[in-house]
Amino acid sequence: MALLNLHLKVWRQKNNEDEGRFVDYNIQDISTEMSILEMLDVLNEKLIKEGQEPVAFEHDCREGICGCCGIFINGRAHGPLKRITTCQLYMRHFKDGETIVLEPWRAKGFPVLKDLMVDRSAFDRIIAAGGFVAVNTGGAPDANAVPIPKHNLEKALDAAECIGCGACVAACKNASAMLFVSAKVSHLVRLPQGKPEREKRVFAMLNQMEKEGFGSCTNTEACSAECPKGISMDVIAQLRREYFRASVRQEKE
Amino acid sequence: MALTGLFLYIFLIEHLIANLLLLNNDNGEAYTIYAEVLGSAYNIPLRIIEFGLFFFLLYHATNGTRLWITNRNAKGIHYFVNRASENSTFFSRFMIQSGSVIFIFLVIHLRSFFVHYRLETPDDTMYQGVVKAFENPLYSWFYIIAMILLAFHLVHAFQSAFQTLGLRHNKYTPFIKSFGVIFSILICAGFALIPVYFLYINNTGGH
Ligand code: FES
Protein backbone atom coordinates (compact mmCIF):
# COMPACT_ATOMS: atom_id res chain seq x y z
CA MET A 1 0.00 0.00 0.00
CA ALA A 2 1.62 3.15 -1.18
CA LEU A 3 1.00 6.58 0.26
CA LEU A 4 0.53 9.65 -1.90
CA ASN A 5 1.23 13.30 -1.33
CA LEU A 6 -1.01 15.44 -3.50
CA HIS A 7 -1.78 19.02 -4.46
CA LEU A 8 -5.44 19.83 -4.70
CA LYS A 9 -7.01 22.74 -6.52
CA VAL A 10 -10.56 22.88 -5.23
CA TRP A 11 -13.39 25.19 -6.28
CA ARG A 12 -14.69 26.97 -3.18
CA GLN A 13 -17.91 28.92 -3.30
CA LYS A 14 -19.93 29.91 -0.22
CA ASN A 15 -23.33 29.91 -1.88
CA ASN A 16 -25.05 30.63 -5.15
CA GLU A 17 -24.46 34.39 -4.86
CA ASP A 18 -20.76 34.06 -4.11
CA GLU A 19 -18.39 34.41 -7.06
CA GLY A 20 -16.25 31.43 -6.12
CA ARG A 21 -12.53 30.77 -6.52
CA PHE A 22 -9.95 27.99 -6.52
CA VAL A 23 -8.15 27.25 -3.27
CA ASP A 24 -4.98 25.16 -3.18
CA TYR A 25 -4.45 22.48 -0.56
CA ASN A 26 -1.60 20.08 0.07
CA ILE A 27 -2.50 16.72 1.48
CA GLN A 28 -0.14 13.99 2.73
CA ASP A 29 -0.19 10.24 3.24
CA ILE A 30 -3.20 9.35 1.13
CA SER A 31 -3.63 5.61 0.72
CA THR A 32 -3.98 4.32 -2.83
CA GLU A 33 -6.84 2.15 -1.55
CA MET A 34 -8.98 5.19 -0.80
CA SER A 35 -11.62 6.49 -3.15
CA ILE A 36 -11.39 10.13 -4.12
CA LEU A 37 -14.32 10.91 -1.81
CA GLU A 38 -12.46 9.31 1.09
CA MET A 39 -9.50 11.48 0.22
CA LEU A 40 -11.84 14.49 0.47
CA ASP A 41 -13.06 13.16 3.83
CA VAL A 42 -9.44 13.20 5.03
CA LEU A 43 -9.04 16.75 3.75
CA ASN A 44 -12.24 17.82 5.51
CA GLU A 45 -11.16 16.26 8.82
CA LYS A 46 -7.99 18.27 8.53
CA LEU A 47 -9.85 21.47 7.67
CA ILE A 48 -12.27 21.03 10.56
CA LYS A 49 -9.38 20.49 12.99
CA GLU A 50 -7.77 23.68 11.72
CA GLY A 51 -11.05 25.50 12.26
CA GLN A 52 -11.73 26.00 8.54
CA GLU A 53 -14.87 25.38 6.57
CA PRO A 54 -14.85 21.82 5.09
CA VAL A 55 -15.33 21.31 1.33
CA ALA A 56 -18.96 20.58 0.50
CA PHE A 57 -19.56 17.73 -1.94
CA GLU A 58 -22.56 15.51 -2.51
CA HIS A 59 -22.51 11.76 -1.89
CA ASP A 60 -24.78 9.02 -0.67
CA CYS A 61 -24.36 5.39 -1.69
CA ARG A 62 -20.63 5.50 -2.50
CA GLU A 63 -21.06 2.48 -4.73
CA GLY A 64 -22.04 3.99 -8.06
CA ILE A 65 -25.80 3.63 -7.93
CA CYS A 66 -27.34 6.82 -6.56
CA GLY A 67 -25.79 9.38 -8.90
CA CYS A 68 -25.11 12.01 -6.21
CA CYS A 69 -21.37 12.30 -6.36
CA GLY A 70 -20.56 14.18 -9.55
CA ILE A 71 -17.30 16.12 -9.52
CA PHE A 72 -15.40 17.39 -12.56
CA ILE A 73 -11.94 15.95 -11.91
CA ASN A 74 -8.88 17.00 -13.92
CA GLY A 75 -11.02 18.11 -16.85
CA ARG A 76 -13.30 15.07 -16.98
CA ALA A 77 -16.74 14.33 -15.56
CA HIS A 78 -16.27 11.71 -12.81
CA GLY A 79 -12.53 11.75 -13.44
CA PRO A 80 -10.28 10.17 -16.05
CA LEU A 81 -11.70 6.64 -16.13
CA LYS A 82 -14.63 5.47 -18.21
CA ARG A 83 -17.90 4.09 -16.89
CA ILE A 84 -17.47 4.90 -13.22
CA THR A 85 -18.87 7.52 -10.87
CA THR A 86 -16.70 9.78 -8.73
CA CYS A 87 -17.15 7.57 -5.66
CA GLN A 88 -15.74 4.61 -7.63
CA LEU A 89 -12.56 6.47 -8.57
CA TYR A 90 -9.65 5.20 -6.51
CA MET A 91 -6.49 7.04 -5.58
CA ARG A 92 -4.33 4.37 -7.20
CA HIS A 93 -5.13 6.05 -10.51
CA PHE A 94 -3.18 9.13 -9.43
CA LYS A 95 0.55 9.63 -9.14
CA ASP A 96 2.50 10.85 -6.13
CA GLY A 97 2.91 14.63 -6.29
CA GLU A 98 0.12 15.05 -8.84
CA THR A 99 -2.14 18.10 -8.89
CA ILE A 100 -5.83 17.25 -8.88
CA VAL A 101 -8.26 19.95 -10.01
CA LEU A 102 -11.79 19.59 -8.64
CA GLU A 103 -14.65 21.63 -10.11
CA PRO A 104 -18.42 21.44 -9.80
CA TRP A 105 -20.61 20.51 -12.80
CA ARG A 106 -20.92 23.59 -14.98
CA ALA A 107 -24.35 24.33 -16.44
CA LYS A 108 -26.96 27.05 -16.08
CA GLY A 109 -29.44 24.32 -15.23
CA PHE A 110 -27.28 23.11 -12.34
CA PRO A 111 -26.63 26.15 -10.11
CA VAL A 112 -23.81 25.68 -7.60
CA LEU A 113 -25.15 25.35 -4.05
CA LYS A 114 -21.78 25.29 -2.35
CA ASP A 115 -18.21 24.37 -3.36
CA LEU A 116 -18.48 21.17 -5.44
CA MET A 117 -22.18 20.66 -4.87
CA VAL A 118 -24.74 21.61 -7.50
CA ASP A 119 -28.52 21.68 -7.45
CA ARG A 120 -29.76 18.93 -9.76
CA SER A 121 -33.45 19.39 -8.97
CA ALA A 122 -33.94 20.48 -12.59
CA PHE A 123 -33.76 16.75 -13.42
CA ASP A 124 -36.56 16.04 -10.93
CA ARG A 125 -38.72 18.67 -12.60
CA ILE A 126 -38.03 17.14 -16.03
CA ILE A 127 -39.12 13.75 -14.67
CA ALA A 128 -42.21 15.30 -13.06
CA ALA A 129 -43.09 16.87 -16.41
CA GLY A 130 -43.30 13.56 -18.26
CA GLY A 131 -41.05 10.79 -16.99
CA PHE A 132 -43.81 8.78 -15.36
CA VAL A 133 -46.40 6.13 -16.19
CA ALA A 134 -50.06 5.92 -15.18
CA VAL A 135 -51.02 2.83 -13.17
CA ASN A 136 -54.34 1.37 -12.09
CA THR A 137 -55.24 1.48 -8.45
CA GLY A 138 -55.92 -1.79 -6.67
CA GLY A 139 -53.74 -4.85 -6.35
CA ALA A 140 -50.48 -5.09 -8.27
CA PRO A 141 -50.87 -7.14 -11.46
CA ASP A 142 -48.87 -10.35 -11.77
CA ALA A 143 -45.40 -9.66 -13.10
CA ASN A 144 -45.91 -12.09 -15.96
CA ALA A 145 -49.34 -10.76 -16.92
CA VAL A 146 -47.90 -8.19 -19.33
CA PRO A 147 -45.84 -9.82 -22.06
CA ILE A 148 -42.75 -7.84 -23.12
CA PRO A 149 -40.46 -9.04 -25.91
CA LYS A 150 -37.02 -9.84 -24.51
CA HIS A 151 -35.20 -7.48 -26.88
CA ASN A 152 -37.40 -4.53 -25.87
CA LEU A 153 -37.01 -5.39 -22.25
CA GLU A 154 -33.24 -5.44 -22.45
CA LYS A 155 -33.06 -2.18 -24.38
CA ALA A 156 -35.42 -0.58 -21.87
CA LEU A 157 -33.26 -1.76 -19.01
CA ASP A 158 -30.11 -0.47 -20.75
CA ALA A 159 -31.71 2.98 -20.81
CA ALA A 160 -32.98 2.56 -17.26
CA GLU A 161 -29.39 2.26 -16.09
CA CYS A 162 -29.26 6.08 -16.07
CA ILE A 163 -28.77 7.26 -12.48
CA GLY A 164 -29.38 10.95 -13.23
CA CYS A 165 -25.93 12.00 -12.07
CA GLY A 166 -25.68 14.82 -14.61
CA ALA A 167 -22.30 13.85 -16.07
CA CYS A 168 -23.85 14.17 -19.55
CA VAL A 169 -24.73 17.81 -18.89
CA ALA A 170 -21.36 18.42 -17.25
CA ALA A 171 -19.39 17.00 -20.17
CA CYS A 172 -21.49 18.63 -22.89
CA LYS A 173 -20.13 21.91 -24.19
CA ASN A 174 -23.75 23.01 -24.65
CA ALA A 175 -24.83 21.82 -21.19
CA SER A 176 -27.55 19.84 -22.92
CA ALA A 177 -29.53 17.30 -20.93
CA MET A 178 -30.42 15.38 -24.06
CA LEU A 179 -28.86 12.07 -23.00
CA PHE A 180 -30.71 12.12 -19.68
CA VAL A 181 -34.08 12.99 -21.24
CA SER A 182 -33.57 10.47 -24.05
CA ALA A 183 -32.64 7.69 -21.64
CA LYS A 184 -35.88 8.23 -19.74
CA VAL A 185 -37.98 8.43 -22.90
CA SER A 186 -36.28 5.38 -24.38
CA HIS A 187 -36.76 3.43 -21.16
CA LEU A 188 -40.50 4.12 -20.94
CA VAL A 189 -41.43 3.94 -24.60
CA ARG A 190 -40.09 0.42 -25.00
CA LEU A 191 -42.36 -0.93 -22.31
CA PRO A 192 -46.13 -1.43 -22.62
CA GLN A 193 -46.61 0.49 -19.36
CA GLY A 194 -45.14 3.60 -20.95
CA LYS A 195 -47.36 3.65 -24.02
CA PRO A 196 -50.36 5.75 -22.85
CA GLU A 197 -48.26 8.91 -22.35
CA ARG A 198 -46.04 8.22 -25.35
CA GLU A 199 -46.73 11.38 -27.39
CA LYS A 200 -47.22 13.80 -24.54
CA ARG A 201 -44.10 12.69 -22.71
CA VAL A 202 -41.63 13.70 -25.42
CA PHE A 203 -42.92 17.25 -25.68
CA ALA A 204 -43.38 17.70 -21.94
CA MET A 205 -39.87 16.55 -21.06
CA LEU A 206 -38.16 18.48 -23.86
CA ASN A 207 -40.06 21.66 -23.00
CA GLN A 208 -39.09 21.32 -19.37
CA MET A 209 -35.47 20.71 -20.34
CA GLU A 210 -35.45 23.97 -22.28
CA LYS A 211 -37.20 25.84 -19.47
CA GLU A 212 -34.56 24.70 -17.02
CA GLY A 213 -31.90 26.39 -19.13
CA PHE A 214 -30.16 23.37 -20.62
CA GLY A 215 -28.70 23.75 -24.10
CA SER A 216 -29.50 21.76 -27.22
CA CYS A 217 -27.76 18.75 -28.66
CA THR A 218 -25.17 19.19 -31.42
CA ASN A 219 -24.16 15.52 -31.49
CA THR A 220 -20.64 15.86 -30.11
CA GLU A 221 -21.29 12.58 -28.27
CA ALA A 222 -19.33 13.76 -25.22
CA CYS A 223 -22.28 12.81 -22.97
CA SER A 224 -22.29 9.18 -23.94
CA ALA A 225 -18.50 8.95 -23.69
CA GLU A 226 -18.56 10.27 -20.12
CA CYS A 227 -21.72 8.50 -18.92
CA PRO A 228 -20.82 6.27 -15.96
CA LYS A 229 -23.47 3.82 -17.12
CA GLY A 230 -22.45 3.93 -20.78
CA ILE A 231 -25.85 5.05 -22.07
CA SER A 232 -25.55 4.96 -25.84
CA MET A 233 -26.23 7.69 -28.40
CA ASP A 234 -28.91 5.33 -29.70
CA VAL A 235 -31.32 6.72 -27.12
CA ILE A 236 -30.93 10.25 -28.48
CA ALA A 237 -31.68 9.04 -32.01
CA GLN A 238 -34.70 7.27 -30.59
CA LEU A 239 -35.86 10.47 -28.90
CA ARG A 240 -35.62 12.22 -32.27
CA ARG A 241 -37.79 9.57 -33.86
CA GLU A 242 -40.27 9.78 -31.00
CA TYR A 243 -40.34 13.54 -31.42
CA PHE A 244 -41.12 13.31 -35.15
CA ARG A 245 -43.70 10.62 -34.51
CA ALA A 246 -45.37 12.64 -31.78
CA SER A 247 -45.35 15.79 -33.94
CA VAL A 248 -47.31 13.93 -36.60
CA ARG A 249 -49.64 12.04 -34.30
CA GLN A 250 -50.50 14.53 -31.63
CA GLU A 251 -53.77 16.20 -32.43
CA LYS A 252 -54.63 19.73 -31.51
CA GLU A 253 -56.66 19.88 -28.34
CA MET B 1 -29.56 22.19 -39.32
CA ALA B 2 -29.68 18.62 -40.59
CA LEU B 3 -32.10 19.13 -43.48
CA THR B 4 -30.58 22.39 -44.70
CA GLY B 5 -27.14 20.86 -44.25
CA LEU B 6 -27.99 17.85 -46.40
CA PHE B 7 -29.44 20.14 -49.07
CA LEU B 8 -26.21 22.15 -49.06
CA TYR B 9 -24.36 18.85 -49.45
CA ILE B 10 -26.24 18.16 -52.67
CA PHE B 11 -25.36 21.63 -53.88
CA LEU B 12 -21.67 21.02 -53.12
CA ILE B 13 -21.71 17.86 -55.23
CA GLU B 14 -23.30 19.69 -58.15
CA HIS B 15 -20.83 22.57 -57.80
CA LEU B 16 -17.88 20.20 -57.66
CA ILE B 17 -18.90 18.33 -60.81
CA ALA B 18 -19.17 21.65 -62.61
CA ASN B 19 -15.80 22.78 -61.30
CA LEU B 20 -14.15 19.66 -62.58
CA LEU B 21 -15.08 20.83 -66.08
CA LEU B 22 -12.40 23.46 -65.53
CA LEU B 23 -9.80 20.72 -65.59
CA ASN B 24 -10.88 19.75 -69.09
CA ASN B 25 -8.04 20.90 -71.33
CA ASP B 26 -10.25 22.75 -73.82
CA ASN B 27 -9.49 26.30 -72.81
CA GLY B 28 -12.69 26.45 -70.85
CA GLU B 29 -15.15 25.62 -73.63
CA ALA B 30 -17.18 23.09 -71.67
CA TYR B 31 -17.16 25.25 -68.58
CA THR B 32 -18.30 28.34 -70.48
CA ILE B 33 -21.24 26.46 -71.97
CA TYR B 34 -22.16 25.19 -68.52
CA ALA B 35 -21.91 28.68 -67.01
CA GLU B 36 -24.14 30.10 -69.75
CA VAL B 37 -26.84 27.45 -69.38
CA LEU B 38 -26.75 27.72 -65.61
CA GLY B 39 -26.85 31.49 -65.58
CA SER B 40 -29.48 31.99 -68.28
CA ALA B 41 -32.37 34.10 -67.06
CA TYR B 42 -34.78 31.77 -68.89
CA ASN B 43 -33.76 28.85 -66.74
CA ILE B 44 -36.73 29.35 -64.41
CA PRO B 45 -36.54 26.11 -62.38
CA LEU B 46 -32.90 26.80 -61.64
CA ARG B 47 -33.67 30.36 -60.55
CA ILE B 48 -36.18 28.94 -58.07
CA ILE B 49 -33.69 26.38 -56.74
CA GLU B 50 -31.09 29.11 -56.53
CA PHE B 51 -33.40 31.21 -54.42
CA GLY B 52 -33.98 28.21 -52.16
CA LEU B 53 -30.26 27.66 -51.93
CA PHE B 54 -29.62 31.19 -50.67
CA PHE B 55 -32.50 30.90 -48.27
CA PHE B 56 -31.29 27.57 -46.85
CA LEU B 57 -27.74 28.84 -46.60
CA LEU B 58 -28.78 31.91 -44.66
CA TYR B 59 -31.08 29.86 -42.47
CA HIS B 60 -28.30 27.36 -41.78
CA ALA B 61 -25.85 30.13 -40.87
CA THR B 62 -28.20 32.19 -38.70
CA ASN B 63 -29.68 29.18 -36.95
CA GLY B 64 -26.19 27.81 -36.32
CA THR B 65 -25.13 31.11 -34.80
CA ARG B 66 -28.27 31.26 -32.66
CA LEU B 67 -27.63 27.71 -31.43
CA TRP B 68 -24.05 28.57 -30.60
CA ILE B 69 -25.10 31.61 -28.57
CA THR B 70 -27.88 29.88 -26.61
CA ASN B 71 -25.68 26.84 -25.98
CA ARG B 72 -22.85 29.01 -24.73
CA ASN B 73 -25.23 30.72 -22.35
CA ALA B 74 -26.56 27.37 -21.18
CA LYS B 75 -23.03 26.38 -20.19
CA GLY B 76 -22.36 29.61 -18.30
CA ILE B 77 -18.97 29.32 -16.64
CA HIS B 78 -16.39 27.21 -18.47
CA TYR B 79 -14.13 24.71 -16.78
CA PHE B 80 -10.68 25.70 -15.62
CA VAL B 81 -9.36 22.36 -16.85
CA ASN B 82 -11.35 20.69 -19.61
CA ARG B 83 -10.03 17.68 -21.47
CA ALA B 84 -12.77 17.60 -24.03
CA SER B 85 -10.55 15.81 -26.54
CA GLU B 86 -11.03 12.68 -24.43
CA ASN B 87 -14.74 12.52 -25.10
CA SER B 88 -15.48 14.18 -28.44
CA THR B 89 -13.88 14.98 -31.77
CA PHE B 90 -12.20 18.29 -32.48
CA PHE B 91 -14.48 18.73 -35.49
CA SER B 92 -17.67 18.44 -33.49
CA ARG B 93 -16.55 21.09 -31.01
CA PHE B 94 -15.49 23.71 -33.55
CA MET B 95 -18.44 23.82 -35.95
CA ILE B 96 -19.10 27.52 -35.38
CA GLN B 97 -15.47 28.39 -36.07
CA SER B 98 -15.19 26.32 -39.24
CA GLY B 99 -18.63 27.53 -40.27
CA SER B 100 -17.67 31.18 -39.80
CA VAL B 101 -14.58 30.86 -41.98
CA ILE B 102 -16.70 29.19 -44.65
CA PHE B 103 -19.20 32.04 -44.41
CA ILE B 104 -16.49 34.68 -44.90
CA PHE B 105 -15.13 32.64 -47.76
CA LEU B 106 -18.58 32.49 -49.35
CA VAL B 107 -19.02 36.25 -49.21
CA ILE B 108 -15.72 36.76 -51.04
CA HIS B 109 -16.40 33.86 -53.39
CA LEU B 110 -19.85 35.16 -54.34
CA ARG B 111 -18.45 38.67 -54.81
CA SER B 112 -15.81 37.52 -57.28
CA PHE B 113 -17.94 35.06 -59.26
CA PHE B 114 -21.68 35.25 -58.64
CA VAL B 115 -22.05 39.03 -58.35
CA HIS B 116 -19.60 39.82 -61.10
CA TYR B 117 -20.79 37.37 -63.74
CA ARG B 118 -24.47 37.21 -62.97
CA LEU B 119 -25.48 40.61 -61.69
CA GLU B 120 -22.95 42.94 -63.30
CA THR B 121 -22.02 43.16 -67.00
CA PRO B 122 -18.66 41.42 -67.29
CA ASP B 123 -16.24 41.97 -70.19
CA ASP B 124 -14.69 38.53 -69.89
CA THR B 125 -16.01 34.98 -69.66
CA MET B 126 -16.37 33.22 -66.36
CA TYR B 127 -13.58 30.84 -67.32
CA GLN B 128 -11.15 33.72 -67.82
CA GLY B 129 -12.24 35.12 -64.49
CA VAL B 130 -11.52 31.82 -62.76
CA VAL B 131 -8.08 31.57 -64.32
CA LYS B 132 -7.27 35.14 -63.39
CA ALA B 133 -8.44 34.75 -59.82
CA PHE B 134 -6.41 31.63 -59.21
CA GLU B 135 -3.26 33.10 -60.69
CA ASN B 136 -3.14 35.12 -57.50
CA PRO B 137 -1.45 32.83 -54.94
CA LEU B 138 -3.09 34.69 -52.07
CA TYR B 139 -6.56 34.05 -53.45
CA SER B 140 -5.70 30.44 -54.24
CA TRP B 141 -4.33 29.72 -50.81
CA PHE B 142 -7.26 31.35 -49.11
CA TYR B 143 -9.47 29.08 -51.21
CA ILE B 144 -7.49 25.99 -50.26
CA ILE B 145 -7.55 26.84 -46.55
CA ALA B 146 -11.30 27.49 -46.72
CA MET B 147 -11.70 24.04 -48.30
CA ILE B 148 -9.72 22.42 -45.49
CA LEU B 149 -12.04 24.06 -42.97
CA LEU B 150 -15.02 22.99 -45.05
CA ALA B 151 -13.72 19.43 -44.73
CA PHE B 152 -13.52 19.87 -40.95
CA HIS B 153 -17.10 21.10 -40.95
CA LEU B 154 -18.39 18.29 -43.13
CA VAL B 155 -16.63 15.48 -41.27
CA HIS B 156 -18.85 16.16 -38.27
CA ALA B 157 -21.82 17.39 -40.27
CA PHE B 158 -22.52 14.30 -42.35
CA GLN B 159 -23.03 11.75 -39.59
CA SER B 160 -24.52 14.40 -37.30
CA ALA B 161 -27.30 15.08 -39.79
CA PHE B 162 -28.30 11.43 -39.76
CA GLN B 163 -28.24 11.35 -35.97
CA THR B 164 -30.45 14.44 -35.75
CA LEU B 165 -32.97 12.84 -38.08
CA GLY B 166 -33.02 9.79 -35.82
CA LEU B 167 -31.41 7.64 -38.52
CA ARG B 168 -29.16 5.53 -36.36
CA HIS B 169 -28.77 1.83 -36.65
CA ASN B 170 -26.21 -0.50 -35.15
CA LYS B 171 -25.52 -1.97 -38.57
CA TYR B 172 -25.55 1.14 -40.80
CA THR B 173 -24.24 3.92 -38.56
CA PRO B 174 -20.58 2.79 -38.63
CA PHE B 175 -20.83 2.81 -42.43
CA ILE B 176 -22.46 6.26 -42.48
CA LYS B 177 -19.69 7.58 -40.25
CA SER B 178 -16.78 6.31 -42.32
CA PHE B 179 -18.52 7.10 -45.59
CA GLY B 180 -19.10 10.66 -44.35
CA VAL B 181 -15.45 11.19 -43.54
CA ILE B 182 -14.16 9.86 -46.86
CA PHE B 183 -16.87 11.60 -48.86
CA SER B 184 -16.28 14.96 -47.15
CA ILE B 185 -12.54 14.80 -47.67
CA LEU B 186 -13.00 13.85 -51.33
CA ILE B 187 -15.39 16.75 -51.98
CA CYS B 188 -13.05 19.29 -50.42
CA ALA B 189 -9.99 17.81 -52.11
CA GLY B 190 -11.88 18.09 -55.40
CA PHE B 191 -12.55 21.78 -54.86
CA ALA B 192 -8.99 22.45 -53.71
CA LEU B 193 -7.70 20.77 -56.86
CA ILE B 194 -8.86 23.73 -58.98
CA PRO B 195 -6.60 26.42 -57.46
CA VAL B 196 -3.74 23.92 -57.26
CA TYR B 197 -4.24 23.15 -60.95
CA PHE B 198 -4.26 26.76 -62.08
CA LEU B 199 -1.52 27.86 -59.72
CA TYR B 200 1.00 25.10 -60.30
CA ILE B 201 0.05 22.96 -63.27
CA ASN B 202 -1.71 25.08 -65.85
CA ASN B 203 -0.78 28.66 -65.12
CA THR B 204 -1.04 29.89 -68.68
CA GLY B 205 -4.56 28.64 -69.28
CA GLY B 206 -6.36 31.90 -69.99
CA HIS B 207 -3.81 33.59 -72.21
S1 FES C 1 -22.23 8.38 -4.10
FE2 FES C 1 -23.82 7.25 -5.06
S3 FES C 1 -23.09 7.11 -7.06
FE4 FES C 1 -21.41 7.99 -6.05
Global ipTM: 0.89
Alpha helices in chain A (DSSP H): 36-49, 121-130, 150-160, 167-171, 178-189, 198-211, 222-226, 234-249
Interface contact B63, partner A, CB < 8 A: no
Report the mean per-residue pLDDT for chain A: 95
Please tell me which residue of chain A has the smallest CA distance to B2: A218
Determine whether the interchain pair B70/A9 forms a contact, defined as Cβ–Cβ distance below 8 Å.
no
Class of the domain covering A120-136+146-252: mainly alpha
Q: Is residue B76 part of a domain?
A: no
**Which pLDDT belongs to residue B203?**
59
Residue A26: which pLDDT band, with cuts at 50, 70 and 90?
A: very high
Q: Where in chain A is the domain with CATH 3.10.20.30?
A: 3-103
Q: Over the range A73-97, which residues count as b (16 or more CB within 10 Å of their CB) and which as e? A: bbbbbbbeeeebbbbbbbbeebeee
User: Where do you find CATH 1.10.1060.10 in chain A?
Assistant: 120-136+146-252
For chain A, percent of residues with pLDDT exceeding 70: 98
Check residue B135 and give its pLDDT. 87
| Rounded Cα–Cα distance for residues B47 and B40 (Å) | 9
| Angstrom distance (rounded) from CA B38 to CA B40 | 6
List b or e across A30-39, with b for residues whose CB sees 16 or more CB atoms inside 10 angstroms. beeebbbbbb
- Judge whether B13 lies within some domain: yes
Poorest-pLDDT segment among A40-44, A102-106, B1-5, B95-99: B1-5
Residue B147 is assigned to a structural domain of this protein: yes
Residues in chain A closer than 8 A to B89 (CB atoms): 220
What is the pLDDT, as a whole number, of residue A253? 64
Q: Is residue B206 over pLDDT 60?
A: no
* A3 ligand 1 Cβ < 6 A: no
User: Angle of helix A178-189 relative to helix A198-211, nearest 10 degrees?
Assistant: 170
- Judged by a CB distance cut-off of 8 A, whether residue A113 touches chain B is no
Q: In this predicted model, what pLDDT tens digit does every residue of A204-253 receive, in sequence order? A: 999 999 999 999 999 999 999 999 999 999 999 999 999 999 999 877 66
Q: Give the pLDDT confidence of A138-162 residue by residue, as tens digits.
A: 888 888 888 999 999 999 999 999 9
CA distance A111 to A79: 20
Q: CB–CB of B79 and A215 under 8 A?
A: no
In degrees, rounded to 5, the angle at the alpha carbon of residue B154 between the alpha carbons of residues A221 and B185 is: 120
Does B86 reside within a domain?
no
With beta carbons under 8 A apart, name residues in chain B contacting A225: 86-88
Assigned CATH topology for domain A3-103 = Ubiquitin-like (UB roll) (3.10.20)
Instruction: Report the percent of chain A where pLDDT is more than 90.
Output: 91
A84 lines ligand 1 (CB under 6 A): no
The beta-carbon neighbor of A240 closest among B71, B166, B170 is B166
Angle at B80 between CA B77 and CA B85, to 5 degrees: 100
Helix, strand, coil shares, percent, chain B, to 5: 80, 0, 20
Q: What is the pLDDT of residue B72?
A: 96
Per-residue pLDDT, averaged over A189-201, amounts to 93
Residue of chain B whose Cα is closest to the Cα of A101: B81
Distance from the CA of A38 to the center of ligand 1, in angstroms?
12
- pTM metric for this prediction: 0.92
| B167 in A contact zone (CB under 8 Å) | yes
Inside any domain, residue B29: yes
Give chain B's domain count: 1
In a domain, B84, yes or no: no
Boundaries of domain holding B36: 2-71+95-201
